[in-house]
Structure 1
Amino acid sequence: MQEHDMSWVRTEMALAQAAPRSQVGFGAWVRRNLFATPVDSVLTVLALLAIAWALPQILNWVFFDAVWTGADRTACLTTEQGGQLPVGWTGACWPFVSGRFGQFMFGRYPMDERWRVILTGIIFIALLAPLLIPRVPYKGLNAILFFVVFPFIAFYLLVGGFFGLSYVETPRWGGLMVTLVLSYVGIVVSLPLGILLAMGRRSKMPIVKLLSVVFIETVRGVPLVTVLFMASFMLPLFVPPGMSFDKLLRALIGVALFAAAYMAEVVRGGLQAIPKGQYEGADSLGLGYWQKMGFIIMPQALKLVIPGIVNTFIGMFKDTTLVLIISMFDLLGVVKQNISGDPTWATPQTAKTGYVFAAAIFWIFCFGMSRYSQFMERRLDTGHKR
């Protein structure tokens, strides 16, 4: 048999080579993400021009032209308005924020008792942080402490009246404290309740399905303002005579039920996205309904709808500002109250500064939730490995 020339066959593995310079580094990232197509290039240039126009003005207003010290509104008035600053001065009035910072955070909570709010916040962060970090062990115990034990601790610390703590009525609560309380209770209650409602809407039992559909469509068919009014003024009509509900508790019930209705539809979308084979596979293993939903179906469904769940949480966090209509003052409500009701700081500059401060606080929390949801999506994206 004729022998073939094998001189062209490689006998050793080729050495690893560095990626082409055009494919790595900052320049490659810019070309790939900002100038990949002519349309991308035009949009990038327009965005850079907009930033170049807006950024100097923002920096001037926030830092360079801002007022940093002062005891009252005269520190932030122009000469034309009877103050000490030159006409045309348009910077932020940060003394207003620093002077009213305590009210923005705690409302009218007694100053001598604010350590209780701070301690509650520290416990909240200490329990939440390890729950959010995937590598921290004992997640089950951590979840029990955060979702079951912590609400009782927070109640005893914030309300008082026990263990030598003075009682602080909820009408004196306000500021960021109320915003976080409403958001925490709304999230903790709406997610499990929404899951149950979604399962009820897909149930084969007519009564359960009917009740779930009626609740979801009724709540989703009215604005949150209406729900808050009903919880605040109509809920007391359905309780036995002599029994009264705290106004904050009414708001908590209204916000939680409203968010649960929207959460139910988000979770239902995830359940519908699960292939039928997953249900059949769970049935073939002999799993009961709750085992099938708890171990097979629901984990996959929740993973698919993480963006929708977080979007509902973010919307609920921002909607807490609507409690102002039932005479409760969250962060934005306290800021507005100090702007319009305090003649010591009533100036156009303080109004702008107060609203910008409130907007920045809301943005920090909402952006944090959004970024964490993206992290969890990447971590749980086991279906398509790259």
Structure 2
Amino acid sequence: MSDTHQQSIGFVRDSMLPQVAPPLGETGIFKWMKANMFSSIANGALTLAALAAIYYLLSGVLPWLLNGVWQADSIRECREILDGKVGGCFAVLAERWNQLLFGFKYPSELYWRPTLAFVLLFVAIAPVLFRKVFPAQMLWFSALYPFVAYFLIWGGSVLIPLFALLGFVLGYVFYSTFVARSFALGSFGGILVAMAVWYITGFLPIEGVLATEAVASRDMGGFMLNLILGTVCVSLSIPFGIALALGRQSDMLIIKWICVVFIEFIRGVPLITLLFVASVMLAYFFPPDANIDLILRVIIMITMFASAYIAEVIRGGLAALPTGQYEAGDSLGLDYAQKMRLIVLPQALKISIPGIVNVAVGLFKDTTLVSVISMFDLVGTIRGPVQASSEWNGVYWELLGSAALLFFVVCYGISQYSQWLERQLQTDHR
């Protein structure tokens, strides 16, 4: 009886064993490597092959970077300093940085003007890109920035950008007046009024009025030219692309077929062909007395090219929306312009963000094609004045690598912003 009673008494632990650390392969870097790099035999083999390739690449690149020469007057002096060792001749960047950034003809005493315009660019686009962070009042400066930047970079009379601003103000008034009657009439009428006032300024005697030192367009070059073309053409191609996408879906057959023919023709022609047209033939489409410089003609052609591609991207976004969204606008009694502005376009543009960014990145890189029409952008400056000089003839990797780095920084920044914007606009429920 006593034995049975003793066996029925349960044992309760009155002290805990000390905790034992998890296995080494289940924590920290070892766990991450096991899950991401060596999760299987095939993944482990690929990881080892990739590490071998990286080691082989770095073993050749790092000595070239670390032994680089930054102080020399020519490539021959670089080779004498290296004395047979592997190393890059980065002295060309230290000596010709101004030509690479601003071109070889832009006056050196005026470098502060495009530099200031570049700094103000971030101030202007900040309230556009990050509207929740910066006050809405800064959008006034964003609207004025194109005219300020023109005056800073090109110089000349201050009345030229002022008259251009007046043209756009009158165009906006025209648009606001007729938009209730016809969206297309208001849009295109406003653009025509702005262009007419801007064109008239070319015949006004305003050269010496409130003028600073003017810089001709043929003196623009370097990475500054790529930034000008990329920024202006991307900014203009988005609204034109939206207009073309809406026009292609219009019920008015004339407008629809004009947009269809324009989009299909531009998409079927290489950009380099359009650049040659801008360089040689486009001047014949303007009045005989009009002096339209090459940069403006190139901007027109690149904008047309990008607008056609962006129109197709936005058309895909419009087609992705269910018909209920269009019917919702009709049920609310909204007219066409209100329905597009308040309901349809915000959703279509959100869908189209990856495609628009893809076109923008490609367009910015394609600005280097202007070197084939004798415009000395960054690549044209490298292939022309820099490498043509006897001091730096034979330097390739250092110059082209620096150009690639500049373009990568800009394109990577655009890509990262687009991904951030997509995350901010993810309002759907999953």
Partner of 2:391: 344
Partner of 1:3 in structure 2? Answer: none
The structure 1 residue matched to 2:61, chosen from 58, 70, 73, is: 58
Q: Which residue identity does 2:273 align to in structure 1?
A: T
Q: 1:239 to 1:130 in 2, by over 3 A?
A: closer
| Aligned counterparts of 2:328 and 2:27: Cα–Cα separation in 1 | 45
Please give the alpha-carbon distance, in whole angstroms, between the structure 2 residues aligned to 1:194 and 1:25: 50
User: How far apart, CA to CA, are the structure 2 residues paired with 1:24 and 1:137?
Assistant: 43
Q: Does residue 48 of structure 1 match 2:43?
A: no
- Are 2:218 and 1:223 equivalent residues in the alignment? no
1:158 aligned residue:
153
Compute the TM-score of the two structures, normalised by the length of structure 2: 0.78
Q: Matches of 1:381 and 1:358 in 2, distance apart?
A: 35
- Counterpart of 2:280 in structure 1 is 233
Aligned to 2:281, the other structure's residue is in SS state helix
Shift of 1:144: 4.5
The alpha-carbon deviation at position 51 of structure 1 amounts to 1.4
| Alignment length (residue pairs) | 355
1:175 to 219, 222, 230: 222
Asked if 1:69 is matched to 2:74, the reply is no
1:93 is matched with which residue: 89, 93, 96? 89
Partner AA of 2:129 in structure 1: L
3-state SS of 2:240 partner = helix
Which residue is 2:178 aligned to? Answer: none
Determine what percentage of the aligned residue pairs are the same residue.
Answer: 42
Structure 1 residues 221 and 136, CA, compared in 2 at 3 Å: closer, same or farther? same
1:331 aligns with 2:327: no
Uncovered stretches (5+) of structure 2, i.e. residues with no partner: 1-21, 158-209
Could you tell me how far apart the structure 2 residues matched to 1:86 and 1:193 are? Answer: 57
CA deviation after TM superposition for structure 1 residue 121, in Å: 1.1
| 1:136-155 matches, cutoff 5 A | 136-139=133-136, 141-146=137-142, 148-155=143-150
CA contact (8 A) 1:339 1:354 kept: no
Deviation per residue, 1:125-157 (Å, 9 max, x gap): 222234333531434x444432x3111101111
- Trace 1:25-40 onto structure 2 (pairs within 5 A): 29-36=32-39, 38-40=41-43
1:38 Cα deviation from its structure 2 partner: 5.0
Match of 1:367, as an amino acid? Answer: Y
- Which of 310, 323, 328 aligns to 1:281? It is 328
Cα shift readout 1:237-294 (whole Å, capped 9, x = no counterpart): 1112211210111111111111111111111111111111111222211111111111
Give the match's secondary structure for 2:82. Answer: coil
Counterpart Cα distance in 2 of 1:227 and 1:365? 25
> Aligned pair in 2 of structure 1 residues 242, 138: CA closer, same or farther (>3 Å)?
same
- The answer to whether the 8 A contact 1:228-1:326 is kept is yes
C-alpha distance in 2 between matches for 1:53 and 1:94: 23
Q: 1:334 to 1:384 in 2, by over 3 A?
A: farther
Shift of 1:204: 1.4
1:93 alignment partner, SS class? coil
Is 1:128 aligned with 2:125? yes
Contact 2:386 2:392 (C-alpha < 8 Å) held by counterparts? yes
Are the counterparts in 2 of residues 109 and 173 from structure 1 also a CA contact under 8 Å?
Answer: yes
1:105 counterpart letter in structure 2 = L
Deviation, 1:321, is 0.5
Q: Which amino acid aligns with 2:256?
A: K
SS of the residue 1:242 aligns to: coil
Q: Assess, with a 3 A threshold, how the Cα gap between structure 1 residues 138 and 28 changes in structure 2: closer, same or farther.
A: farther
Who is 1:8 aligned against?
A: none
- Render the CA deviation track for 1:14-65: whole Å, top value 9, x for unaligned: xxxxxx9999865555455444555444433332222122123222212x22
For 1:115 and 1:371, how far apart are their aligned partners in 2?
29
Q: Distance in 1 between matches of 2:39 and 2:139?
A: 45
Deviations 1:52-98 (A, max 9, x none): 22123222212x22112112222222xxxxx45333x3421111011
Match of 2:253 in 1: 206
Q: Which runs of 5+ in 1 are unaligned?
A: 1-19, 78-82
Query: AA paired with 1:101?
Result: W
TM-score (normalizing by structure 1): 0.86
The answer to whether the Cα contact below 8 Å between 1:67 and 1:75 also exists between their aligned partners in 2 is no
Work out the CA distance in 1 between the residues paired with 2:78 and 2:279: 39
Q: Structure 1 counterpart of 2:76, which letter? A: T
**For residue 191 of structure 2, what is the aligned residue in structure 1?**
none
Distance 2:253 2:40 in 1: 54
Provide the C-alpha distance between the structure 1 equivalents of 2:269 and 2:418, rounded to a whole number of angstroms.
28
Quick one: which of 98, 107, 111 aligns to 2:108? 111
| Correspondence for 1:307 | 354
- The equivalent residue for 1:365 is 410
The aligned amino acid for 1:249 is L
Q: In angstroms, what is the RMSD of aligned CA positions? A: 2.1
